[in-house]
């Protein structure tokens, strides 16, 4: 699993001064807002007796264990042990591992990377539309019993559309894939599928021509942020943004946002777009959860064809990142 990324763990509305336990990459963390308004994320269990710190509280801006009252500062260092005699020493091992936490696009994000590495990875909510005030967004999330790499590859796969989504995004889509046309820059992948469809308009490959403004675009920021941008015409756009959070090797939480830059007060469009997206994703979920082996194998252990190119590039990046982190 890849540590060097930002992972969404909560909505901003769920975080408070009360520690909240979350699970990320087989680790239990507690996330909370300290009394100065800063987000904190630390290892979830007290180094004294392993008490669950999500049962604790914030006292004098210190995370306080509910078992023996040990208090930890923003750097995870224990600053007070009530049972000690006056002037009693605090063990050097009495500290919590801390992690970097941020807020973006209505979500709380945590990185398990070392602080000096966090600056070199794509920021949380990398899609610029998410911070554009002209866009209207609606949030949702779902849990898939699947490895995160398998989930990410599924949203880069164009050739499954007519088979998995015959009545929605794959309706009238030819099983023969033209390309797909894609561009890769470092760890960023952009795909321009042909033909395409979207929930607001029937498929019409002829309108693509060579006009880039009319092309549907899929973009992935490795390893876990993805967006599909769909032109509706007259500079109107609809998008679906997804980010993937691995709870463990076999479970992935998908945090999603659907958005548009027009008719922001339309409840009908909110419901229509959300229901369409959730229906399509449920179709994908049934397939992806069935894939075996659960952990993605080496590329040479599967058969591939040209239409798999974007997913192959992703798998290569994934295996490379796993190997690099294992070596450190």
Bigger pLDDT: 2 or 294?
A: 294
pLDDT digits (tens, 9 = 90+) for 212-258: 557 899 999 999 999 999 998 888 999 999 999 999 999 999 999 99
pLDDT at 280: 96
* Rounded-to-integer distance, Cα 290 and Cα 57, Å: 42
Does residue 117 carry a pLDDT above 90? no
Q: What is the pLDDT of residue 327?
A: 86
Phi-psi region of 270 (alpha: psi -120 to 50; beta: other; left: phi over 0): alpha
How much is the pLDDT for 208? Answer: 41
3-class state of residue 216 by DSSP = coil
> Is 60 exceeded by the pLDDT of residue 301?
yes
Q: Which residues contact residue 225 at a Cβ distance below 8 angstroms, ignoring those fewer than 6 apart?
A: 122, 125, 126, 127, 241, 242, 243
CA torsion, points 269, 271, 275, 276, in degrees to nearest 10?
0
pLDDT of residue 174: 82
> What would the DSSP string read from start to end of 150-205?
HHHHHTT--TTHHHH-TTTTTTT--SS--TTEEEEETTEEEEE-SS--BTTB---G
Lowest-confidence pick of 99-103, 220-224, 289-293, 324-328: 324-328
Dump strand ranges (E) for the chain: 6-11, 20-24, 27-33, 39-43, 57-59, 62-64, 71-72, 78-80, 98-104, 107-111, 136-144, 181-185, 188-192, 217-221, 225-233, 236-248, 251-260
How much of the chain is in helix, strand and coil states, percent to nearest 5?
Answer: 25, 35, 45
Paired residues of 225 in beta bridges: 221, 243
Task: Give CA separation, 185 vs 1, 130, 191, 203, 222, in Å.
Answer: 22, 21, 12, 29, 11
Query: Predicted confidence band at 210 (pLDDT cuts at 50, 70, 90)?
Result: very low
Q: Which residues are CB-contacts of 26 (< 8 A; sequence separation ≥ 6)?
A: 1, 247, 248, 249
Whole-model pTM? 0.91
Token pair of 36, please?
């100065």
Domains along the chain with CATH numbers: 6-118 (2.102.10.10), 128-326 (3.90.380.10)
Label residue 167 by pLDDT band (50, 70, 90): confident
Q: Which of 98, 56, 52 is nearest to 77 (CA)?
A: 98
Residue, of 232 and 128, whose pLDDT is higher: 128
pLDDT at 212: 53
Most confident by average pLDDT, 108-122, 162-176, 228-242: 228-242
Mean pLDDT computed over every residue of the chain? 91
Q: Kindly report, residue by residue over 49-89, the tens digit of the pLDDT.
A: 999 999 999 999 999 999 999 999 999 999 999 999 877 89
Highest mean pLDDT, choosing among 73-87, 125-139, 193-207: 125-139
Flag whether pLDDT at 31 surpasses 90. yes
Looking from the CA of 182 toward its CB, the CA atoms found within 13 Å total 25
The pLDDT, as a whole number, for residue 119 is 64
Q: What is the mean pLDDT of residues 169-173?
A: 79
The predicted structure's pLDDT at residue 171: 77
Q: Which residue carries 């449920």 as its tokens?
A: 282
Phi, psi of 209 (to 5 degrees): 45, -135
pLDDT of residue 26: 95
What does DSSP say about strands 57-59 and 39-43: parallel, antiparallel, or unpaired?
unpaired
């Amino acid at each position: 699993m890849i540590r060097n990324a930002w992972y969404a763990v909560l909505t901003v509305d769920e975080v408070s001064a009360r520690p909240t336990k979350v699970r990320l990459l087989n680790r239990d963390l507690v996330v909370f807002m300290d009394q100065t308004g800063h987000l904190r994320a630390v290892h979830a269990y007290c180094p004294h007796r392993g008490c669950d710190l999500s049962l604790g509280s914030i006292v004098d801006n210190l995370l306080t264990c509910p078992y023996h009252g040990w208090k930890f500062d923003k750097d995870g260092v224990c600053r007070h042990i009530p049972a000690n005699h006056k002037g009693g020493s605090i063990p050097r091992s009495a500290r919590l591992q801390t992690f970097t936490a941020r807020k973006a696009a209505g979500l709380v994000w945590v990185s398990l990377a070392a602080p000096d590495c966090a600056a070199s990875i794509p920021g949380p909510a990398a899609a610029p539309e998410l911070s554009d005030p002209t866009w209207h967004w609606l949030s949702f999330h779902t849990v898939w019993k699947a490895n995160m790499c398998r989930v990410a590859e599924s949203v880069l796969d164009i050739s499954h559309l007519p088979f998995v989504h015959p009545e929605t995004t794959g309706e009238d889509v030819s099983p023969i894939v033209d390309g797909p046309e894609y561009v890769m820059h470092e760890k960023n992948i952009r795909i321009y599928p042909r033909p395409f469809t979207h929930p607001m308009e029937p498929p019409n490959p002829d309108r693509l021509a060579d006009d880039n403004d009319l092309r549907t675009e899929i973009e992935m920021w490795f390893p876990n942020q993805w967006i599909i941008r769909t032109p509706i015409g007259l500079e109107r756009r609809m998008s679906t943004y997804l980010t993937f959070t691995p709870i463990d090797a076999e479970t992935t939480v998908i945090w999603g946002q659907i958005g548009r830059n027009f008719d922001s007060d339309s409840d009908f469009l909110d419901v229509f777009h959300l229901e369409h997206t959730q229906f399509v994703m449920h179709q994908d979920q049934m397939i992806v959860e069935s894939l075996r082996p659960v952990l993605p194998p080496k590329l040479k252990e599967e058969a591939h064809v040209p239409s798999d190119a974007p997913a192959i590039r992703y798998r290569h990046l994934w295996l490379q990142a796993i190997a690099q982190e294992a070596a450190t």
